[in-house]
Amino acid sequence: MEVENKYVTLKKHIEGAPLESDLEMRSTVLVLTVGEGSDDVIVKNMYVSIDPYQINRMKKYSPSQTAVNFSTRLDVGQAIDAYGIGMVVASNNSAFQKDDMVAGLLGWAEYSIIKGGNMLWKIDSKEFPLSYHGGILGFSGLTAYAGFFNVCKPKKGEKVFVSAASGSVGNVVGQYAKLLGCYVIGCAGTKEKVDLLKDKLGFDDAFNYKEESDLKSTLKRYFPEGIDIYFDNVGAEMQEAAVANMNAFGRVAVCGVISEYLSTNEKRAAPDMLLVVYKRITIQGFLAGDYMDEFANFISTTSDHLRHNRIHVVEDISQGLESIPSAFAGLFRGDNVGKKLVQITQD
């Protein structure tokens, strides 16, 4: 059977904030059969993840493009690979059968061909809504889990600060930290997001960073006894202010630096390294992909929290492939609350 496979691609490389018009839809004819001797898998995509890191792939140059193989530069017209959830429609690969529900590196497209079934795994789609596997039980959840437990090495009672705290990773970090018995403060960019953190997600307190003019004093106010752990999603000024307020032997997990993604090469705020030395602070960048060994633990722990309603799922789902450009540009305007997904098809 032949189908028209629509996909989203770059119209031109992006400098600065992404515009919806920087992306466009194209289509190609796809035969939904896998040739003899191939171990490829064809997946009908159902949900795709919208993630900030893609902006660094869409620039003419970013140092991240040569660091790891999933962050390589995207060219104009190229299909964009992205994390997603789908259903196998054809496979010669012994690990996958037609109609299997799968997660992995799919794409901003209606269908994806996964060479050799790489970066693809089966999911149990019966217990929780399918969309959960794109967020809380997917890569965002793993990022929060591994970043918090493996990188930050938290202890009960420690004081934790999370930036972009209403986002897909941040909201889960804050909820894990509360379940462990930490004192947790988050920051976000609107009153609604701040209220969500305090009233629904159980954060001890939260503030709107856009209303603060001196972030070092703000953090001093919220953490009079200092910060033990900073889960950094934004970088630059917030990172500098958090480090200035850290306790001895504090840990900073640098998950992402979204406030730096849109800037060109100007000088940015940075932590005071003298403080890093004298307070013996650990600052560690990490990538969730390095923690695939933790995936089974992460799924079993998080599923258990979900079964017992100990964790809230915050999702923000747009409909249809056509909504990808605005969903993506919206990440950098703070439009999303929780995990941003696009539902490509309902069946």
Nearer of residues 14 and 258 to ligand NAP, judged by Cβ:
258
For the stretch 170-195, what's the b/e string if a residue is b when 16 or more beta carbons lie within 10 angstroms of its beta carbon? bbbbbbbbbebebbbbbbbbeeebbe
Instruction: Give the residue nearest to ligand NAP (CB).
Output: 167
CB atoms within 10 A of CB 148: 26
Nearer of residues 17 and 248 to ligand NAP, judged by Cβ:
17
* Nearest partner of 310 among 136, 131, 149, 163, judged by Cα: 136
Spatial contact of 162 and 143, defined as CB atoms under 8 Å apart: no
Type of residue at 15: E
CB 166 to ligand NAP: min, Å: 6
Half-sphere exposure of 246 (CA within 13 A, CB side): 32
For the stretch 27-46, what's the b/e string if a residue is b when 16 or more beta carbons lie within 10 angstroms of its beta carbon? eeebeeebeeeebbbbbbbb
Question: Is residue 173 part of the contact set for ligand NAP (CB under 6 A)?
Answer: no
> Which residue of 10, 331, 341, 342 would you call a contact of ligand NAP, by CB under 6 A?
331
Annotate each residue in 246-275 with x if it binds ligand NAP (CB under 6 A) or - if it does not, as one string.
---------xxxxx----------------
For the stretch 311-321, what's the b/e string if a residue is b when 16 or more beta carbons lie within 10 angstroms of its beta carbon? bbbbbbbbeeb
3-state DSSP assignment of residue 90: strand
Nearer of residues 147 and 250 to ligand NAP, judged by Cβ:
147
Nearer of residues 22 and 100 to ligand NAP, judged by Cβ:
22
CB 292 to ligand NAP: min, Å: 11
Nearer of residues 137 and 257 to ligand NAP, judged by Cβ:
257
Which tokens sit at 323? 């909504």
* Nearest partner of 162 among 152, 55, 276, 312, judged by Cα: 152
Question: Is residue 332 part of the contact set for ligand NAP (CB under 6 A)?
Answer: yes
> Which residue of 5, 45, 71, 143 would you call a contact of ligand NAP, by CB under 6 A?
143
φ, ψ of residue 84 in degrees (nearest 5): -170, 180
Number of residues that bind ligand NAP (CB under 6 A): 30
CB 347 to ligand NAP: min, Å: 27
> Which residue of 54, 340, 342, 343 would you call a contact of ligand NAP, by CB under 6 A?
340
Q: Which range in 90-98, 117-125, 162-170, 222-230 contacts ligand NAP by CB under 6 A? A: 162-170
DSSP codes, 143-210? HHHIIIIIII---TT-EEEESSTTBTTHHHHHHHHHHHT-EEEEEESSHHHHHIIIIIS--SEEEEGG
Nearer of residues 85 and 188 to ligand NAP, judged by Cβ:
188
Nearer of residues 167 and 174 to ligand NAP, judged by Cβ:
167
> Which residue of 10, 130, 169, 329 would you call a contact of ligand NAP, by CB under 6 A?
169
> Which residue of 234, 311, 313, 329 would you call a contact of ligand NAP, by CB under 6 A?
234
Question: Is residue 159 part of the contact set for ligand NAP (CB under 6 A)?
Answer: no
**Which residues of this chain interact with ligand NAP, rule CB under 6 A?**
51-53, 140, 143, 164, 166-170, 188-190, 193, 233-234, 255-259, 286-288, 331-332, 334, 336, 340
